[in-house]
Chain A
Amino acid sequence: MPGYSTFEYDVLVVGAGGAGLRAAIEASARGAKVGVVTKSLLGKAHTVMAEGGMAAAMGHVDDRDNWRVHFADTMRGGQYLNNWRMAELHAKEAPERVRELESWGAIFDRTRDGRILQRNFGGHRYPRLAHVGDRTGLEMIRTLQDHGIHQGITFHMETTLLTLLVIGGRCIGAFGYERERGRYQLYLARAVVLATGGIGRAFAITSNSWEYTGDGQALAFHAGATMLDMEFVQFHPTGMVWPPSVKGLLVTEGVRGEGGVLRNKDGKRFMFDDIPENYRSSTADNPEEGWLYTQGDKNSRRPPELLTRDHVARCIRREVKAGRGSPHGGVFLDIAWIKEKLPNSVEHIKKKLPSMYHQFKQLADLDITQQPMEIGPTTHYMMGGIKVDADTQMTSVGGLFAAGECAAGLHGANRLGGNSLSDLLVFGKRAGEHAASFATGQTAMGAPAVRDQIEQCIAHAEAPFNRGMSGENPFSIQAELQETMQNLVGIVRIESEIEEALSKIRTLKKRAAIAGVGGNREYNTGWHTALDLDSLLTVAELVALAGLERKESRGGHFRDDYPNKDAAWGEVNLEITRGPSGHPDLQRVPVRPMPADLQAAVEENK
């Protein structure tokens, strides 16, 4: 009797956040037998933490908005390294995906005339984010979950994958274990969709939940898939900095969208000091204009606090470095000041930003309606990831699809806030659709074809128990990796430090290979951590390698030794594949020229 259970599906979806659930629903609607594996319980995935909203050019608040403006905003935000076809599909299809969510039971905030309300966000020309207070991610995941459980989909909760099974260049399933009892599971599938999210847990200060260990990226890389833009990690400008135990916890961009301003310790609004050339014409040049913009005045331009995240994060770091920071190493984010403008500011803030009010009150003993918050940059999002075909979301491995944060291309060098939730829906749906149609043409492979691979995988998974408590402590290795990435491959990078990080990562890989844990396989968090190290170390190395290669500063990637944008680098993406010896093989690939119509959309919105 084999030491594992076997499940067979047409489409196996890995991950149950927004992209995974949307893919599963779509594949199921097209007649596929669908299984979903998820590392946590249903409805708990990182999507739940998304706050601000989902970007879709519906034009409810400002009817000048349309997909061409959204497209141009996305490309400019991504510094033109985006896959323009993905940006086009995303801008065109997002409104339909939002409406569909409503037709499945989501309840968005409303405009005065009863339509879905949209709010301002950094880098978006018009109010574009459909939202529910500051808990839009919860609304989205709950809607998809509550709809999905009635579609005949099988959910395998609290299950982690150890490997993808690939035969002859085609992905035929995956092997993993369920966390609760530690039992092994074999999944045979005609198509597999990866929707595993990001890699934030490779860094010490992050807004991401524990699941974000880069599993999808690592699984795909080891399976031979091509990776793209791995140097582009987004550091969100506003994470909590105090108290230490919540360092990194996200403070939504919605605070700035509602009129919140950034100040240094001298009380100065420092964002007015540095407005990039390509945003100057669309940015307010005085505080009053900025305030009017946040209150919906169509003739005003956005305040500089709503410039793109990469830029705002670097300005904050500059203030702190120059000794103008707040007591705990951040700067001040002030929404309380709006009491000068609004008589009912306390109720207004609580209504518009309930989670933020709650979060600061409970975790930092601070009332945001009365006092400024202390904030600083936090690792937030992975723009890079698995390279996919724009239309089908298929990776370079047959039958293997990827959608959402673990896939790359839509966001280029920097993602705009609000473009992630819409990304999940647009490309989750596409991945589900194309995975289902791919599956139709395939025969399933039996377990015998992969027996050796499974045996190796089990031996590898059991090894930490054999070494027991005399092996390396997995929590220590994880913590050291997080410090390494934070300090050496973080928001500001330099060649010597990235090289130092790479050598540390190699040492940590050796230590991870001799990690040990005690106890048994039942809900053993130490064991789970030991097995997650493979993914974390793999993605950390890819980020560092790509970061070393790109000798310029652009979007989320800032090099102290090459602080400027370089036009030549603006025309290449970096791709990484697994070489014959197993080592990463890096390649510069020219960006494809944009078709005339899309080029025109960019020009007309400059």
Chain B
Amino acid sequence: MATTSQATFRIWRGENNKGGYVDFSLEVEEGMVVLDAVHRIQATQATDLGVRWNCKAGKCGSCSAEINGSPKLMCMTRLNTLDLTKPVTVEPMRTFPHVKDLVTDVSWNFTVKQRIPPFQRRPPDSHGPDGPQWRVRQQDVDRPQEFRKCIECFLCQDVCHVLREHHMHDKFIGPRFIIHAAQLEMNPLDDGNRLEALKDDFGIGYCNITKCCTKVCPEGIHITDNAIIPLKERVVDQFYDPLQKLFRIFK
């Protein structure tokens, strides 16, 4: 059956950002993921090791961490993709306030979403016995469906330098919420317009398209190309197009 080998996990432990790395040595088997290793350490060597996880299937986006320096889901990172001859470092996401061990306070993200104007449905095309009905073609929903694959792991927020290096949490909503706004803007059933808010309140202009967010997205969403750039273009069209401006003046 499974072949075993020895590995060292260098896990960042501590509370409220005070702490450091602790090494744990562990027997590991074929097919294991990083979260398995963390669980085994928890069960046998450190029962109070703090780690947030839920589905262990890459569907809920709870177990985000930085593994050997890269933002990843612990449950989807197989050990055979890592060099086990060296210690594997596992540390919390550094962009959010630290709570304990691998757990960070991600509540900022939830307050940001609250600020974005919600879905505003357009009038239905007809009414059936069981409620309103809309006719929408699949081609027209492919794009917003891509953004709705987001599992809110916040790895894109973690890696975004506007947030990570420049701490502009009150001026910039981050890639996760730009794609949230994008799926609303591109939903054929939505009547709302969030472009002015994207420009003024959500700081879409701060993104300088380094695509770091796209690289770490575990769902493979084309965050920059399919959401951020098209929204930037729409903002430009609405607010900075000289012909449009002229047209508005005469109107």
Q: A interface vs B, CB < 8 Å?
A: 40-44, 46, 48-49, 58, 95-96, 99-100, 102-105, 107, 109-110, 113-115, 132-133, 135, 137-139, 142, 146-147, 149-150, 157, 180-181, 209-211, 242-246, 249-250, 354-355, 358-359, 362-364, 469, 473-476, 479, 517-520, 522-527, 529
Neighbouring B residues of A525 by C-beta, 8 Å: 42, 47-51
A244:B47 contact, CB within 8 angstroms:
no
Closest Cβ–Cβ distance, residue A145 to chain B (whole Å)? 9
CA distance A249 to B138 in the complex (A): 30
Q: Given contacts A41-B62, A180-B103, A525-B51, is CB(A99)–CB(B148) below 8 Å? A: no
CA distance A1 to B184 in the complex (A): 47
Pull 21 A–B residue pairs with CB atoms less than 8 Å apart, ordered by A: A41-B106, A99-B132, A105-B121, A107-B144, A107-B189, A115-B133, A132-B148, A135-B59, A135-B149, A137-B59, A138-B149, A147-B118, A180-B103, A244-B1, A246-B33, A246-B57, A249-B56, A355-B59, A473-B47, A523-B100, A525-B48
CA distance A105 to B188 in the complex (A): 10
Instruction: Name, among B47, B53, B118, B130, the residue most crowded by chain A CB atoms within 10 Å (CB to CB).
Output: B47
Q: Given contacts A209-B56, A475-B47, is CB(A180)–CB(B105) below 8 Å? A: yes
Q: Given contacts A244-B31, A479-B43, is CB(A250)–CB(B57) below 8 Å? A: yes
Q: Given contacts A49-B55, A209-B56, is CB(A526)–CB(B33) below 8 Å? A: no
Interface string of B181-200 (1 = CB under 8 A from A): 00110010110000000000
B134:A102 contact, CB within 8 angstroms:
yes
Q: Is residue B23 contacting chain A, with contact meaning CB distance below 8 A? A: no
Q: Given contacts A104-B119, A526-B47, is CB(A99)–CB(B135) below 8 Å? A: no
Closest Cβ–Cβ distance, residue B178 to chain A (whole Å)? 15
Closest Cβ–Cβ distance, residue B70 to chain A (whole Å)? 15
Q: Is residue B82 contacting chain A, with contact meaning CB distance below 8 A? A: no
Neighbouring A residues of B49 by C-beta, 8 Å: 525-526
Neighbouring B residues of A142 by C-beta, 8 Å: 148
Neighbouring B residues of A113 by C-beta, 8 Å: 135
A244:B29 contact, CB within 8 angstroms:
yes
A362:B133 contact, CB within 8 angstroms:
no
Closest Cβ–Cβ distance, residue A245 to chain B (whole Å)? 5
Q: Is residue B114 contacting chain A, with contact meaning CB distance below 8 A? A: yes
CA distance A184 to B233 in the complex (A): 49
Q: Is residue B18 contacting chain A, with contact meaning CB distance below 8 A? A: no
Neighbouring A residues of B158 by C-beta, 8 Å: none
Interface string of B27-63 (1 = CB under 8 A from A): 0011111001000001110011111111111111110
List the A residue with the shortest CB-CB distance to B79: A245
A524:B50 contact, CB within 8 angstroms:
yes
Neighbouring A residues of B152 by C-beta, 8 Å: 43-44
A48:B103 contact, CB within 8 angstroms:
no
CA distance A359 to B75 in the complex (A): 11
Closest Cβ–Cβ distance, residue A58 to chain B (whole Å)? 7
CA distance A110 to B142 in the complex (A): 10
List the A residue with the shortest CB-CB distance to B220: A358
Q: Given contacts A46-B55, A113-B135, is CB(A102)–CB(B189) below 8 Å? A: yes
Q: Can you name 18 extra interface pairs (CB under 8 A) apart from A518-B47, A525-B42, A525-B48?
A: A43-B152, A44-B54, A44-B62, A48-B60, A49-B57, A104-B119, A107-B144, A107-B183, A135-B59, A149-B110, A209-B55, A243-B30, A243-B32, A245-B36, A246-B56, A250-B57, A523-B101, A525-B50
